[in-house]
Amino acid sequence: MSEFLLERIFNKVDTIPTFPETARRALELLRRDELDFRELEQVIKSDPGIAVNFLKLVNSAAFSLPQKVDSLLKAFMYLGTDQIKLSLLASVSGKYFSDNLTGYGISAKDIWLHSINCAFITEEIANELKLSPEKKESLYIASLLHDLGKIVLDLYTNLEEVKFHEITRENPSWDFLQIEWFVLGVDHGMVGGYLLKKWDFPEDITFAVRAHHDADLMIQKKVSAIVGLSNILANLMGITGGVDAFKYKISSKLIETLGLTTKDLEKIMFKVLKRSMFLENLVV
List contacts with Fe ion (CB under 5 A).
147, 231, 241
Nearer to Fe ion, 44 or 121 (CB): 121
CB-wise, 60 or 100, nearer to Fe ion?
Answer: 100
CB of 90 to Fe ion, least distance (A): 16
- Shortest distance, CB of residue 238 to Fe ion, whole angstroms? 13
Min separation Cβ 234 and Fe ion, Å: 7
Question: Closer to Fe ion at the Cβ: 54 or 97?
Answer: 97
Q: Please state, in angstroms and as integers, the Cα–Cα distance from residue 258 to each residue in 98, 122, 129, 229, 251, following that order.
A: 33, 12, 8, 10, 11
Is the CB of 72 or the CB of 148 nearer to Fe ion? 148
* In the complex, minimum distance from the CB of residue 13 to Fe ion, in angstroms, rounded to a whole number: 17
Between residues 193 and 241, which has the closer beta carbon with respect to Fe ion? Answer: 241
Min dist. Cβ of residue 142 to Fe ion (A)? 11
* Residue whose C-beta lies closest to Fe ion: 241
